[in-house]
């Protein structure tokens, strides 16, 4: 069996997805919201999932018109509601 890790939103039992239309065109995973409409994003290690969760919790990241990275803080994202869970295949 192979183990992976996914990021789960406990109150709604939904997962951060591997792909959504919001992540299209280079916006990236920080724009995604937990959902069951798309398959969960899987990580090879707990550490990889924890790093992704840290960035997601800070809010959507994008580039301004000059190409510099900017991040919109999103206070609705609560670390206490998110859990990294193992998934085995």
Residue 56: burial class (beta carbons within 10 Å; 0-12, 13-18, 19+): buried
For residue 87, the model assigns a pLDDT of 95
51 Cα distance to chain centroid: 10
For residue 6, the model assigns a pLDDT of 97
For residue 76, the model assigns a pLDDT of 78
Half-sphere exposure of 76 (CA within 13 A, CB side): 5
Give the tens place of pLDDT for each residue, 10-56: 999 999 998 766 555 556 787 788 999 999 999 999 999 999 999 88
Number of domain units in the chain = 1
For residue 67, the model assigns a pLDDT of 66
Residue 62: give the domain boundaries. Answer: 3-88
Alpha-helical regions (H) of the chain: 46-58
């Amino acid at each position: 069996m192979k183990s992976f890790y996914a990021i789960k939103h406990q109150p709604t039992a939904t997962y951060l997805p591997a792909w959504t239309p919001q992540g299209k065109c280079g916006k990236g995973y920080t724009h995604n919201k937990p959902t069951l409409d798309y398959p969960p994003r899987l990580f090879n290690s707990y550490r990889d999932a924890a790093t992704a969760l840290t960035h997601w919790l800070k809010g959507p990241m994008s580039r301004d018109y000059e190409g510099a990275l900017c991040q919109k803080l999103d206070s609705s994202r609560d670390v206490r509601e998110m859990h990294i869970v193992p998934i085995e295949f």
